């Protein structure tokens, strides 16, 4: 059975409540429930943390598991600032796809820079919560 880990970074625990015009009205828990139903043959694990070090710890813990097909990472604002998360992605063996709900390139210029993109397998942005599903599809292909 394929296994995918989704990791969400800071403030993404507030999906559905936080700036709904940008991030939508669905909670991540509801979305994960729907996506698990859509992919009954994929073991989809979900982790969220507001703390940079916790995200790095999780990348280390899971990143050498040969049974894990890939990690879908929305690092939130850490995308634009965290050399430490970039180093962790570079250090691990499991491929990571960077995901954003919003089209970061259509927003403030500070969001146009990602420290993570160069060390990720690919980047998916701007498709709302469907960005996560597209990343899962990319790992399953
Ligand atoms: C985000 C975009 C980031 O710039 C922002 O800080 C987030 C969410 C997105 O999913 O669109 O927290 O990663």
CA of 77 to the centre of ligand 1 (A): 6
Q: What is the pLDDT along the chain (141 residues), one digit of tens a residue?
A: 999 999 999 999 999 999 999 999 999 999 999 999 999 999 999 999 999 999 999 999 999 999 999 999 999 999 999 999 999 999 999 999 999 999 999 999 999 999 999 999 999 999 999 999 999 999 998
The verdict on whether 23 is a catalytic residue reads yes
- Of 23, 31, 78, 132, the active-site residue reads 23
C-alpha–C-alpha distance, residues 120 and 114, integer Å: 10
Predicted structure pTM score: 0.97
Ligand 1: which residue has its CA nearest to atom 9? 100
- All domains of the chain in start order, with CATH: 2-140 (3.40.50.9100)
1 CA → ligand 1 middle, Å: 30
CA distance 40 to 132: 16
CB 96 within 8 A of CB 121: yes
For a mutational test of ligand 1's pocket, the pick from 77, 97, 103, 117, i.e. the residue with the most ligand atoms closer than 8 A to its C-beta, is 77
100 as an active site residue: the answer is: yes
Work out which ligand 1 atom sits closest to the CA atom of 12. 12
Residue 42, SS3 per DSSP: strand
């Amino acid at each position: 059975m394929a296994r995918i880990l989704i990791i969400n970074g800071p403030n993404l625990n507030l999906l559905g409540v936080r700036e709904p015009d940008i991030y939508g009205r669905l909670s991540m828990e509801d979305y994960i429930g729907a996506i698990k139903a859509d992919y009954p043959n994929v073991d989809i694990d979900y982790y969220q943390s507001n703390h940079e070090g916790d995200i790095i710890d999780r990348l280390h813990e899971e990143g050498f598991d040969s049974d894990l097909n890939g990690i879908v990472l929305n690092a939130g604002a850490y995308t634009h600032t965290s050399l430490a998360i970039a180093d962790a992605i570079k250090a691990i063996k499991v491929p990571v796809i960077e995901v954003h709900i919003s089209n970061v390139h259509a927003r403030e210029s500070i969001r146009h820079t990602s420290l993570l993109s160069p060390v990720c397998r690919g980047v998916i942005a701007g498709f709302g919560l469907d960005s996560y599903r597209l990343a899962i599809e990319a790992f399953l292909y």
